[in-house]
Chain A
């Protein structure tokens, strides 16, 4: 059974650009969550999608957005990149919508560097 696949694994952008990251969940998983991981802030929740609908959103500016497709694949977009957006972006999938007690399966992440 394939795990959670994130692409690209590494990318470098410059300030002001935008970036799109992709996540393919485990087959059959309908919930996709995104987290940002930085040395200073640790793992922080960005948003969660289930059945193409955003269910929860973390405390991030509107420059961070996402979407989910009918096949459960998800993308997140960051516009007008800032230096502070440099981070590891992790996608996690779960079979259920979430009752606050679901195990998340994480991908390896997309390492974004903003210059």
Chain B
């Protein structure tokens, strides 16, 4: 079946450093991916998305890289701040046409001041 996984359950970085969170997916037909951030006590919040016709997409302090060959994507956060401490999920709809997404298990990012 479909699966989306994250490489590391936890990640600690020093404030000001760059963070890299990885995600692997199983369905080579997946053509859309979203990264969400979930802070304690809140629901997931959209960070950035990317379609499969792109290799890279940049937002404000965040960059997502997509490698379709190895079915891997990563989220890079530049100059990590304490407010970036949260759990990060990648998600993709697989071959679903509705709003049914498969979510990875999440990476908990802790920023050390």
Contacts and interface: CB of A to CB of B under 8 A. Distances in A.
Nearest to A57: B100
Chain A interface category by residue count: 20 to 34
Contacts, number: 77
A50 B99 CA distance: 10
A97 B57 CA distance: 25
Contact of A100 (B32, B43, B89): B32
Contacts of B100: 33, 45, 48, 56, 58, 98
Interface residues of B, number: 28
A92 B93 CA distance: 14
A43 B89 contact: yes
A31 interface: yes
Contacts of A31: 98-99
A2 to B, nearest CB: 14
Interface stretch (A14-22, A64-72, A78-86, A105-113): A105-113
B103 A42 contact: yes
Contact of B104 (A42, A48, A50, A104): A42
A92 B104 contact: no
Interface string B21-62: 000000000011010100001111110010100000000000
A101 B51 contact: yes
Interface of A: 4, 31, 33, 35, 42-45, 48, 50, 55-56, 58, 90, 92, 94, 97-109
Interface of B: 31-32, 34, 36, 41-46, 49, 51, 89, 91, 93-106
